[in-house]
Structure 1
Amino acid sequence: MKLYLDTSTPETVLKLNDQEYRYTFANDLAEKLLQFIHDKLQENGKTFQDITEITFMSGPGSFTGLRIGATVVNTLASELNIPLYNHRGEKHPIITPDYGRPANISKPRK
């Protein structure tokens, strides 16, 4: 089963083969994303072990959404020992989010 995940916008998109699921997480993406994936796999009679490859929309997009999504797909791909691709179809050992611009890091006050 192929898994596609897009957390770059407020509406998360999950595809399991040709089945597409959309859900808008409020401020609980980190807390509920893995359970959302698990629940949708179960609805299809599958488990995490049935995933054969993962594709992730690596950006640009939401800093927090991309960071959380990348953490989940990197962990799943590593633990399941399956291929991981970005949305351009390029295979990667890990996905690094593309935020679309350099990080806006504030200078320390002191």
Structure 2
Amino acid sequence: MNILALDTATDACSAALLHNGQPYEVFELAPRRHTHLILQQIEQSLAAASLNLQDIDALAFGQGPGAFTGLRIAAGVVQGLALAIDKPVIAVSTLAAMALQAIDQQQATTVYVGLDARMSEVYWGVYQAASAPISIQATTHHLPTVKTLCVDCVIKPDSVPLPQQQTGQPTDNKHPASGCWAIGSAWQAYPDALTQRLQAQSIELPNTQILPDFYPSAAYIARLAWVKALTQPQESLLDAAQAQPIYLRNKVAQTIAERQQQAAR
């Protein structure tokens, strides 16, 4: 299955083609330059795999949460391409894709993903390493994926939900600290509040397992999209018009009065 994936949810901009399970990705940190780069990146990823748009079976995009403008760029480009080549779209959580990347690259078992949402809030989700049994040519393969422990939300950093609040059992008893990682820009914007929140639930993370400079990757958007397409085709394969971002909130910025009120606290 050939999947073309895009992500423009943060300062990073990337496109990736997943061809026979192999990702061909073009990635760049490019704040406010996504519209200038994304089409070029698509062409480069296709060329790297020696394919063209007509060879694509599905398109995927990071649907958020993330920057409002960035999410609209990815959704708009994917919608246009999907209509042009009459192919389905797969929407993937930005935070889930980041978690899968940490699981793959850092051998993480539990990942606390946080992005700076501005306005003294974070986009937050907690994920666990998992595998999805897939039958390919009469052979069962176990593809890496993620299990959601805390659903993506926008919230104050000192109030982020943690898995044991849902299960009643401490996460660190099942997943030792060596397998727990914290990633994303929220860990640079609000390190003390987030660390204290985890410590209050007896979750201790060494500094070496906190990676604030960690960005979404279209390659992992594509990998999760592949798993979704194989395991939940009816739910995950969308028409172009259904490819919508998930913002998690409706406000882009605070009013002057709100900023003054917050500063006075």
Q: Post-superposition shift, 1:105?
A: 7.5
2:248 alignment partner in structure 1: 100
The RMSD of aligned alpha carbons is 2.1
Point out the structure with the larger strand share.
2
Q: Post-superposition shift, 1:5?
A: 1.6
Equivalent residues in 2 for 1:12-91, closer than 5 Å: 12-17=13-18, 18-19=22-23, 20-87=25-92, 89=228, 90-91=236-237
1:4 alignment partner in structure 2: 5
Structure 2 unmatched ranges of 5 or more: 94-227, 229-235, 256-265
Task: Provide, for residues 8-63 of structure 1, a one-character-per-residue CA deviation record: whole Å limited to 9, x for no partner.
Answer: 11112332113133222232211221111112211221111111101111111011
What secondary structure does 2:64 align onto?
coil
**Counterpart amino acid of 1:71?**
G
Percent pairwise identity: 31
Greater relative contact order (CA < 8 Å, ≥ 6 in sequence): 1
Larger Rg: 2
Q: Partners of 2:66 and 2:31 in 1: how far apart?
A: 16
The answer (yes or no) to whether the contact 2:59–2:88 under 8 Å persists in 1 is yes
Structure 1 unmatched ranges of 5 or more: none
Q: Partners of 2:26 and 2:37 in 1: how far apart?
A: 14
The answer (yes or no) to whether the contact 2:26–2:44 under 8 Å persists in 1 is no
Point out the structure with the larger helix share.
2
